[in-house]
Structure 1
Amino acid sequence: MDATPARIAPAMPPFPPDIQRPIDLIMPPGVPPLVLFTTLARDPRLFGKFFAASLLDRGHLTLRQRELVIHRTTALCGSEYEWGVHVRGFAAKAGLDAAQLASTVHGTATDACWSDEDRVLIRLCDALHRNCDVDDTLWAELSARFSEPACIELLMLAGFYRTVAYLTNGLRLPLETMAARFPAAA
């Protein structure tokens, strides 16, 4: 765990029901809540707004598509905290292997580990991170592969996890002990 203290101390249990319920829904039984959640729990309004924006439900994307966007976006933003939490919780279920996980941190859309669909998603994350926009050529590729609602969800997902990266980085949250760490550059 990172030795740098968080800028804002997390709230401590017991939590009021309006905070405990969402935590219980997202955390596996017996696993303590993430520091991100307990830090946000210091303010019920902000906690509620954060959980209301969650896109971890079954939407217009597959688990793999969703996690690829989350992994790439959080890696581009340097949020080892959130990247590692998602690797631990979802990478295996999403079918992301070690080479792909390393590429989300250090690679490019042209890496051999990616399918054509994966490459479009990586390029989307890169474009949004770099320009906060999607050029017409990339949009045409996206819309040829994804429905309009899925395209909107992709934009919202990348934006939400950029916000999560702002929170985890800006608050200097200590890395979760059970989470993965960024791989070393090759």
Structure 2
Amino acid sequence: MARIALAEPPYEPSIAAELARIMPPGVPPLALFRTMARSPRVFAKMFAGGLLDKGPLSLRHREIVIDRTTARLGCEYEWGVHVAFFAERAGFSAEQVSSTAVGTADAACWAPDEQALLALVDDLVDQRAISEATWSRLAAHFDDAQLLEAISLVGYYHTISFLCVGLELPPESYAARFPATQS
């Protein structure tokens, strides 16, 4: 059970509109969104800062960064939701899905540009900095707007991970679960 009770319908009109916009038809609002709806201010700020719209990174690159960030921060809730909603659309193999959680940044299942994104996440999570070697790898594949987007995604999903873990949100019924070897 989550630490803060989930908001129940009817939601405030602005929250109801945002939930209708973000959720696929027939899928109930995520526990995370329903929890955040308990604070309309935080809810609005969270959605205002979201990065799930079309940005300079491809869907595949975006999801690599999000999945790796949430996995590295132990946030099975958000990792599982993203895997359930986006892994197939991003073209991830089962090996790649698992690798986002338990693989190394240089795992052979990833292309060099994808390995650079994984290294970015690992550097930021482990060192709170980006090594020169990682930056060089990134700069060989991504332009400035893409680099800023990738770093912002790590930061945004760091916050989302802290919310989910701190609130002890239970996994969504349809969400993927961490591979058995996840620590």
1:140 shift after superposition: 2.1
Task: With the length of structure 1 as denominator, give the TM-score of the two structures.
Answer: 0.95
Match of 1:115 in 2: 111
1:170 equivalent to 2:144? Answer: no
The secondary structure found in structure 1 opposite 2:88 is helix
1:21 shift after superposition: 1.1
Match of 1:148 in 2: 144
Q: CA–CA distance in 1 between the matches of 2:113 and 2:143?
A: 14
Match of 2:128 in 1: 132
Residue 89 of structure 2, aligned match among 89, 93, 106: 93
Q: CA–CA distance in 1 between the matches of 2:135 and 2:102?
A: 24
Q: CA–CA distance in 2 between the matches of 1:134 and 1:151?
A: 11
Read off the aligned partner of 2:117 and give its amino acid letter: L
Number of aligned residue pairs:
182
Q: CA–CA distance in 2 between the matches of 1:146 and 1:112?
A: 20
Moved over 4 A (4+): none
Q: CA–CA distance in 1 between the matches of 2:48 and 2:128?
A: 23
Gaps of 5+ in 2: none
Residue 19 of structure 2, aligned match among 23, 28, 41: 23
Task: With the length of structure 2 as denominator, give the TM-score of the two structures.
Answer: 0.97
Aligned Cα RMSD in Å?
Answer: 1.0
Residue 157 of structure 2, aligned match among 157, 161, 170: 161
Q: CA–CA distance in 1 between the matches of 2:74 and 2:160?
A: 11
Q: CA–CA distance in 2 between the matches of 1:120 and 1:141?
A: 6
1:136 shift after superposition: 2.0
Match of 2:62 in 1: 66
Match of 1:36 in 2: 32
Counting aligned pairs with the same residue, the percent is: 51
